[in-house]
Copies of this chain bind each other. A is one copy, B any other.
Amino acid sequence: MDINKEIKTIKTLYENQLLKGELDFWLKYGLDYENGGIYTAIDRDGALLEIDKSVWFQGRALWVFATAYEKYGKKEYFDAAKIILDFIEKYCFDKTDGRMYFRVTKDGKPVIKRIRYIFSETFAIIGFAKFATISNDNSYKEKAFELLQFVDKIRNTEGILIPKFNRPTKGFGEPMILLNVLSELRVSYKEKESWINNYIDELINQIEHSFVKDDLKLVLEQSDANGDFDEEHFEGRLLNPGHAIEGAWFIMNEGLYRNNEHYISLGLKMLDWMYEIGWDKEYGGIIQYRDALNKSLCDYHQDMKFWWPQCEAAIATLMAYKITKDESYFEKFITINNYIQDNFIDNEYGEWFGYFHRDNTLATPLKGNMYKGPFHIPRMYFKCLELL
């Protein structure tokens, strides 16, 4: 394989797909110039399927358009970021307790508030932090930092986050997403660098000890209260390869930034294990779930192919190649890229399809809902273009 030639071709392809397929699609069909904010429940052809707005995606899309402005300097990206930012500040917080909603009406009335999770808040933090960078408005790095402290308070005060299970468990998602939040915040808030580095060390330590299991050669999605493998329950055996691979590149990325060999080898190990078990050798693609002991899975969508695990695997393999210069990682990246190009790209209307059956037939043609919108895909393009 002529790696340099491949890199050149894919760079051109990704830049074009990012600007035309992604950002233009969401500017045209998602942005709500009337009420502010962004819609994400969009059909294949751009038609609106649902008039409520996802609060996760207000924060995520703010981050995306702010990052796009940082990289390409186009005014319309800045304006989009500002429209979303204003909507978040005006409508997405519950003024009575400071928590954020999960879903609001098009004009910002609350529809759903989730009591178990802090993800609406974490995505607003990365949005605020990136907006601080592009606007030079330091109040937003302060707001991001205050929101992070509020999230910490929520996480550490008993009785606020009501857990689903009476039996105490630990979830991989929370430290993994916080790790990304902190590394985003660090870019805009240099003064807090050493505090943030310590916090990140603590999170990676949690991940390494509670979820990365050398005896199983697996990254768990949930462990018991002691951080041990809980093999008697569906949730304890559940593997989410896309999630684990996302965490793997967050940790490699931290290793690169901090020049920390241990983090780099930890991230590589996580990627190797979870690519091995997550890649579908028959039909291609990173599969949604596996069982740690290869027992029958409980979730009926376990063998589907979603868009975002493919994004995370593309970033992680390319990063691993950049770190190790091991061509087998580059080959994996090319395999994933080909799988994406063959299945997910909609050349007619722009934006990727999101949901395929295991055999790569389309399950539903919509481009977005409350869980799919502008985030993983543009982030993949941003990160891969940096790495290429």
Instruction: Give A residues with C-beta under 8 Å from B.
Output: 41, 43-44, 47, 49-52, 105, 109-113, 164-167, 232-234, 295-304, 306, 354-355, 357-359, 361, 363-366, 369-370
Given contacts A41-B234, A232-B50, is CB(A109)–CB(B166) below 8 Å? yes
Given contacts A43-B295, A165-B112, A298-B366, is CB(A232)–CB(B51) below 8 Å? yes
Contacting pair A365 B165 (CB below 8 A): no
CA distance A303 to B49 in the complex (A): 18
Contacting pair A51 B364 (CB below 8 A): no
Contacting pair B298 A304 (CB below 8 A): no
Contacting pair A364 B298 (CB below 8 A): yes
CA distance A107 to B348 in the complex (A): 57
Of the residues B43, B302, B361, contact of A296 by C-beta under 8 Å = B43
CA distance A164 to B110 in the complex (A): 11
Q: With a CB–CB cut-off of 8 A, which chain B residues contact A302? A: 363-364
Contacting pair A369 B298 (CB below 8 A): yes
Q: With a CB–CB cut-off of 8 A, which chain B residues contact A363? A: 300-303
Given contacts A43-B296, A298-B369, A363-B303, is CB(A233)–CB(B52) below 8 Å? yes
CA distance A358 to B369 in the complex (A): 22
Contacting pair A300 B49 (CB below 8 A): no
